[in-house]
Amino acid sequence: MSCRRIALACVTPRPDADELGPLRLPSFGVRRVEAAVAGDRENPGHVVQLFDFGVGDISAYVDAILGFEPDIVGFSIYVWSTPALIATAREVKRRRPGCIVIFGGPSARQALFELAPYREPETFLDAIVEGDGELPMRDIAGLPELTHAAIAAVPGATTRAGGRWTRTPARTTDLDAIVSPFQLGLMQAGDVAYLESYRGCPLSCRFCEWGHSSKAKAVFSADYLTAEMQAFERLKSPALFLLDAGLNLNIQGFRNLREANRRTGYLKRSLFWAEIYPSFIRDEHMDFLGEIGPAYLGVGMQSRDPTVLALHSRQTDPARFERSVYDLASVTTIELQIIMGLPGDTPDGFRRTLDYALSLPVQAVRAYHCLVLPDALMTRGLPDWDMRYNPDDLSMISCLGWSAEQIQSMRAELDARAHRRGGKIGRYWWSFPRRHPAQR
């Protein structure tokens, strides 16, 4: 049995433009890892502490982590936290070289650590976990000895030696065996709840990190989802954010979700947020939305141009898409999502997409500045797309169809259009609320 002191660090920022008001969105992935390590029955003596200051205050993280005197530090990184937490890891490793540093989260990928600001990763990390992090972190924490060879042999761990990466294949696991931070009592009462009914995605869209995942065959059982919803009730979670790639992209996962809600009735008493893919909507999905009452669904259109979508391996049927939007709008609230700066698109093409989106019966349209994410465009973009992007926040600077000046000009144009429409503006998104027909 191994008993270790384990620090976990993330940055949970407040949503841009204070969109959610008093609702609090906690980080979830790092809590999943915390539950897996703290709930390890074979090593019950671990001392686990989460460090999350909400802002990238490097000195605060370094001082707090070193004060904890950890044996292992796990950093969960995404777009907003990557520079600060890597800088924290460098300093922690410099001042406590014997501490084992593991990186996980959506941005913890080999490709990211090859970018200029993050090169020579072997000087500040011992391994990364590319994918599900619960079991690899549990296994690393439970090793008899924290040597490079032992860590490199852990399923799901990626290590580096001699300038080369080596990844040990992850094991297949029963999702129901994953310890829930909600059921373990690690989540704060009153926060927004998170739920997964399955993992992976059957699609392979180049602009989306989900497209690099498995084919969405593994699901959580109805019993597991029922226990999750009961935990949400105990914590008085006012809203549920479904983390699935899409409400309707795994039929067994959806049916287990629907059964769990039938048993608990939780979704009728809370806000429900999810993504849905319009081309695969069945009658049972529409019936479910009728059962739970008002919901807020994100519908990813990305572009109206079939040529652009095909370039990014996105399946499309424009007529079916539009019919589905009208059907969904009759029973629930929809936000249509599009991307500005996609390789292969153009400013005029994007304007046509935005104008078309605004003509549909949706609650809002949200335009995102294109990001070059590690499991998406960073590794699956095509060479002739000539992408230039900011290595700190991964925002597209220029690419095929878009000069740097055109992207900056479009940002200013979107600022102005959002202001005129009474919308909101985030760092890399713009929200356009639906106007009443009488409004001009």
Instruction: Give me the architecture of the 5-164 domain, per CATH.
Output: 3-Layer(aba) Sandwich (3.40)
CA angle 422, 347, 279 (to 5 degrees): 75
Tokens of 163: 């300038």
Which pLDDT score, from 0 to 100, does residue 438 have?
Answer: 38
Quick one: pLDDT at residue 159? 97
Q: What is the CATH number of domain 187-433?
A: 3.80.30.20
* Residue 247: per-residue pLDDT: 96
Q: What is the pLDDT of residue 211?
A: 57
Of 125, 175, 133, residue with least CA distance to 154: 133
Cα 206 off chain centre by = 15
User: Can you give the pLDDT at residue 21?
Assistant: 75
In whole numbers, what is the pLDDT of the chain averaged over residues? 94
pLDDT at 440: 35
Strand order in the sheet with 333-340: 193-195, 239-242, 271-276, 296-302, 333-340, 364-369, 429-433, 424-425
| Fold match flag (5-164 vs 187-433) | no
User: What tokens were used for 132?
Assistant: 């599900």
Percent of the chain surpassing pLDDT 70: 97
Spell out, as residue ranges, where the chain has pLDDT lower than 70.
1, 17, 211-216, 435-440
Q: How confident is the model over 142-181, as pLDDT tens digits?
A: 999 999 999 999 999 999 999 999 999 998 889 999 999 9
State the pLDDT at residue 242.
97
Give the model's pLDDT for residue 203. Answer: 87
Distance of CA 415 to the CA centre of its chain: 25
Domain boundaries, the chain: 5-164, 187-433
pLDDT in the model for residue 172: 86
The pLDDT value recorded for residue 287 is 95
| Chain segment 78-134, per-residue pLDDT in tens | 999 999 999 999 999 999 999 999 999 999 999 999 999 999 999 999 999 999 999
Whether residue 175 contacts residue 220, with contact meaning beta carbons closer than 8 Å, is answered with yes
The model's pLDDT over 257-271, given as tens digits with 9 standing for 90+, comes to 999 999 999 999 999
